[in-house]
């Protein structure tokens, strides 16, 4: 089978409060059940040769320093080892540790990941954990994938939330989600509104 690229976000592995906050379909106190659900949803879609692009909050909030930090890294690594695909990259979210601490768990770590060209066209794709109000190439057809909001933000233009709470608790094929939002017409430059903030004096 040919290599495929999948994208996801906001798994929040190990985060008990995520069950209630995001209405995940497991018992309210069953964090292990949530982890198993998420792992099953990933591994039922990806295969070993596939590439998983995770847009942040791989685990929920944890302590990442000292002895507790070592325990958190061990936990994150144990979860990663159960994901069957060989390659996984991460765009850091607000609950993820530093790049240094992620070394050896994921293949590459980014703050923002931008690339140009995909199987359905030449448009730029801008990936960030957070939803952006504007992004590189927005008027030229570029697309934006994000997480963080767990499906609570309305999509704007050629952007979409790829978090697990929007996609049956698992990843989605990158080509499929890009094909979906590529059907939307990008905003025109003429639609730029006049400046909405007052001119301010600069004092030294």
Write out pLDDT tens, residues 56-68.
999 999 999 999 9
Q: What is the pLDDT of residue 2?
A: 61
In a domain? residue 203? no
Q: What is the 3-state secondary structure (H, E, C) of the chain?
A: CCCCEEEECCCCECCHHHHHHCCCCCCCCCHHHHHHHHHHHHHCCCCCCCEEEECCCCECCCCCCHHHHHHHHHHHHHHHHCCCCCEEEEECCCCCCCHHHHECCECEEECEEEEEEECCEEEEEEEECCCCCCCCCHHHCCEEEECCCCCCCCCCCCEEECCHHHCCCCCEEHHHHHHHHHCCCCCCHHHCCCCCCCCCCCCC
Mean pLDDT, all residues of the chain: 94
In a domain? residue 149? yes
CATH of the domain at 43: 3.60.21.10
In a domain? residue 132? yes
In a domain? residue 201? no
Percent of the chain whose pLDDT exceeds 90: 85
Query: Which residue segment(s) compose the domain that 41 sits in?
Result: 5-191
> Which pTM value belongs to this model?
0.93
Q: How many domains does the chain have?
A: 1
Band (197; pLDDT cuts 50, 70, 90): confident
């Amino acid at each position: 089978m040919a290599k495929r690229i999948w994208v996801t976000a906001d798994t929040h592995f190990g985060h008990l409060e995520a069950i209630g906050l995001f209405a995940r379909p497991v018992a309210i106190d069953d964090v292990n059940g949530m982890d198993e659900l998420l792992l099953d949803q990933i591994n039922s879609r990806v295969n070993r040769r596939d590439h998983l692009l995770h847009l942040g909050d791989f685990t929920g909030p944890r302590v990442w320093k000292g002895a507790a930090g070592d325990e958190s890294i061990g936990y994150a690594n144990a979860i990663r080892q159960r994901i069957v695909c060989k390659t996984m990259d991460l765009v850091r979210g607000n609950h993820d540790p530093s790049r240094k601490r992620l070394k050896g768990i994921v293949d590459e770590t980014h703050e923002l990941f931008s690339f140009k060209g995909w199987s359905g066209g030449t448009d730029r794709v801008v990936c960030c954990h957070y939803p952006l109000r504007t992004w590189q190439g927005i008027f030229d057809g570029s697309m934006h994938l994000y997480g963080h909001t767990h499906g609570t933000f309305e999509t704007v233009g050629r952007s979409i939330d790829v978090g697990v709470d929007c996609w049956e608790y698992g990843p989605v094929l990158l080509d499929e989600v890009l094909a979906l939002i590529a059907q939307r017409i990008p905003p025109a430059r003429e639609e730029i509104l006049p400046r909405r903030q007052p001119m301010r004096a600069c004092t030294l």
